[in-house]
Homo-oligomer: A and B are copies of this chain.
Amino acid sequence: MIELTFLGTNATKPTLERFTSSIAIRHEGEVYLFDCGEGIQIRIGQSGFSLMKIDKLFVTHLHGDHVLGIPGILFSMAKNQREAPLKIYGPPGTAMSVHHMRRASYGRIPFEIDVIELEPGDTVGPITAFETEHTGNSIGYVFREPDTTRIDKAKMDKHGFKPNSKFKKLKQGETIEINGIKLKPKDWLIPVKGSSLAYTGDTVKSDKVIEAVAGVDLLIHESTYLSEDDSGFDYGHCSAKDAARVAKQAGVGSLFLIHFSPRYANLAPLLKEAKQVFKNSFIAKDLARVTIKDTIVQVE
């Protein structure tokens, strides 16, 4: 299961209702942070995540509304006597930005910070960077659980086979024997597709994005403007309608719009124009939690 919490959903400027871009993803005991707008440690506190559990931070690009929460997080981790190393991934330029962030205020940082600059196609565990089209070095991230299998319990029940310590071996691909009957994995295991999501960071509507996010269960796509206001191409941004076109063309399960210009007090028109193109569209809200289990997206 992948569990994600939107921590900040605005573009440009944080407000009390909408901090700037950040998403926390919890998966198999690890907490990943994607982008980190100013003040995100406040939202982390509200969300119930422990700041100290974040070991990997993924940055899409180096504009202030995506990274200016990092210095505060480093400062608070230091105050909490963190010792574990922190890994920060991002496009070329990330190391230089982090270099300056560490020196923006005084105070010793008693843990190691490794900055790893990624190119599209680079992977970190279940996460792969992909190319986006913004105004400088920028990448998006796709998170794909590997496909697995599960025991066909209904069939087992039907044959009177009770849960058994040998099941683990069967799941690992071995043929097992119960009551003298040989059970081959291919007959008793059901394939389970891994869950997946993608987060674009900032980008115009892009074929490269469509290709990279094809078929994900959940696409989180920037949608800075309404299409009628969209002078965004010049600034490397995208309308809600174009975000929905990407979702449709990529054949994703659900679309969450994010990164809204602060000019919009009411986001209903953005949702409306997205839904006209791609029905399964939603507005990302700060502190909203979404799970993806067996490819099923659920808003909590």
- Most B CB contacts (10 A, CB to CB) among A62, A67, A106 go to A106
Known: A38-B72, A71-B68, A101-B100. A62 touches B16 (CB 8 A): no
A39 to B12, CA, bound (A): 13
Contact residue among B14, B16, B72, B93 (Cβ-Cβ distance under 8 Å from A68): B72
Residues of B within 8 A of A136 (CB): 106
Known: A101-B100, A105-B97. A39 touches B14 (CB 8 A): yes
Known: A67-B104, A106-B97. A42 touches B45 (CB 8 A): no
Residues of B within 8 A of A68 (CB): 71-72, 75, 104-105
Report yes or no: B42 in contact with A105, Cβ–Cβ below 8 A: no
Residues of B within 8 A of A107 (CB): 63-64
Q: A190-205 vs B: 1/0 string, CB under 8 Å?
A: 0000000000000000
Number of copies: 2
Q: Is A15 an interface residue (CB 8 A)?
A: yes
A45 to B265, CA, bound (A): 14
Residues of B within 8 A of A46 (CB): 16
Residues of B within 8 A of A280 (CB): none
Q: Is A185 an interface residue (CB 8 A)?
A: no
A101 to B68, CA, bound (A): 10
Residues of B within 8 A of A62 (CB): 105-106
Report yes or no: B64 in contact with A75, Cβ–Cβ below 8 A: yes
A73 to chain B, nearest CB (A): 9
Residues of B within 8 A of A66 (CB): 105
Residues of B within 8 A of A71 (CB): 38, 64, 68, 71, 104
Identify the 3 closest CB pairs spanning chains A and B, nearest first: A39-B39, A64-B75, A64-B105
